[in-house]
Amino acid sequence: MVTRGLCRHACPLCGSGVRHASVKSISGRYYPVRGILLAWSELLRSGSHFLLGRRDVVDENSFDIAIIGGGVIGVACALELARRGASVAVLERDRIGHACSFGNAGWLTPSLARPLAAPGQVRRALPWLLDGESPFYIKPRLSLSLARWLLGFALSGRDWDRFERNTRALVELCNFSTDAWEELSERSDRSFGYARRGMLSVYESQAGFDEGRRLAAMCEPFGVPYEVLSAEQVRAREPVIKGRQVGAIFYPRDAQCEPDRAVLALAEDARAAGVTLYEDAEVLDVQRRAGTVHSVQTTRGTYRADQFVLAAGAWSGQLGRAFALRVPILGAKGYSFLLPKLDRHPGCSIFLAERKIGINPHDEVLRLAGTLEIVGLDLSVNMRRVRAIAKGAAGMLAIADPARQVRLWRGLRPCTPDGMPMIGRAGGYENLWLATGHQMTGLKTAPGTGRLLAELMTGQPPSFDPEPFRADRYARRR
């Protein structure tokens, strides 16, 4: 909710030396009350849009559906709903596709469509917590929400049957989505580097290799074919791999893309379908009564809709409080960076399974990605972990200078305690839906998520089993 205080920040109207009464948004940003009042006064005089500081403010708008969040999930949901005849607005606090959707690994990999809360994950993670260069980290802090999340994570990873059912549900979403991305790449004028070259999951220990084959065998009936390779076959297939390894598993149906361009291509498709995309539209407040949301107030004005969708990624937990929802989502930070094209460029994506490092070979650059830091909304850069990714990749691949980074990125993956997305109606609400919590599967399941949510919202028979994704397993009105 909006809170009021005294602004100690630079005022866009009067400069840095003036202190004003201010409005604090849900996300913690401050907006001077004087600026808001002057802006609305200008609106009444002109009847057109105007500026609040550096942000556009527009007249009140009404839509069938308003989606809060303009990442790949929000845009995919908007596209599917618009295809069903709805008028849809997407409200994005920053730029479309500029958060977690922008610089992730760029993988469309059904082979890795698994819940984060896997059997044995807690046991494997404990030693990593003491290692400053490990691929997994939990930022220590006194927090009841963190304690609840960790308990839920530990309990969710104890049931192999549940893990298998949830994996199947994610794989089905991912298989559909990978085909949808391929179809988009064929008809879109905007190239985003889609290629179905497969993925090579490389193992350095026999125990890891055995576990990898067990998971591959589990996923094969769900539509994930695979091929087991010996160490000699791995080196023959990918000469760029130089480190010690005992074997690999090749997944031929896996694909790759350039994530930032992929989201823009999807957004272009959504615009063509009639979706209105608003950037710099940060939600400041929510008007609701009992189990109905009436409107949201943003930095671009007030928007009314018959239905609302919360698709704000790692910020969904924070925004959920404005709707009186407890949405147990924590941000898990990951890094990626680009290196110049290698002399022996990989022919397919490579996953260093035990180092948890992803390698995506684009045409002109090499993308490296890794780490999972449970940090909430902390976007600071830990260069020690960035260097650990480069060092780990150089230990297995023939990379001459891993420090020659072209572009460094970090983003927050939205993680639920059980590692499954929340797709469906919020408990206790008539017109509020969720599409969030996709951990590391957002890009690879976005079209399927959009399809499922649109079917649920319009009363169509769902193409996928909605039960594993029920939003009200966590999100219920208080």
Q: Which of 476, 472, 426, 429 is nearest to 326 (CA)?
A: 476
pTM of the model as a whole: 0.87
Query: Domain locations in the chain?
Result: 1-58, 109-255+329-414
Phi-psi region of 53 (alpha: psi -120 to 50; beta: other; left: phi over 0): left
At 26 the pLDDT is 58
At 56 the pLDDT is 40
At 218 the pLDDT is 98
> What does the block give as tokens for 191?
């190239």
At 356 the pLDDT is 95
At 37 the pLDDT is 41
At 60 the pLDDT is 57
Q: CA–CA separation, 344 vs 329, rounded Å?
A: 40
The kind and range of the H/E element at 73 are helix 72-83
Q: What does pLDDT average to in each consecutive run of 10 residues of the chain (478 residues)?
A: 42 39 54 43 34 36 96 99 98 94 95 91 73 79 88 90 96 98 96 97 97 98 98 95 95 98 98 98 94 96 97 96 95 94 94 96 94 92 92 90 80 96 97 98 98 98 98 89
Q: CA–CA separation, 252 vs 89, rounded Å?
A: 37
User: Superfamily assignment of 109-255+329-414 in CATH?
Assistant: D-Amino Acid Oxidase, subunit A, domain 2 (3.30.9.10)
C-alpha distances in Å from residue 76, one per residue of 23, 70, 117: 32, 9, 25
Q: What angle do CA 415, 419, 422 make, to 5 degrees?
A: 75
Q: CA–CA separation, 421 vs 443, rounded Å?
A: 12
pLDDT tens figures, 418-435 = 999 999 999 999 999 999
| DSSP assigned state of 111 | G
Q: What angle do CA 96, 25, 301 make, to 5 degrees?
A: 60
pLDDT tens figures, 133-143 = 788 888 878 88
Concatenate the DSSP letters of all residues of 155-195 into one string.
HHTT-HHHHHHHHHHHHHHHHHHHHHHHHHHHH-SS----B
At 27 the pLDDT is 55
> What does the block give as tokens for 56?
């556009």
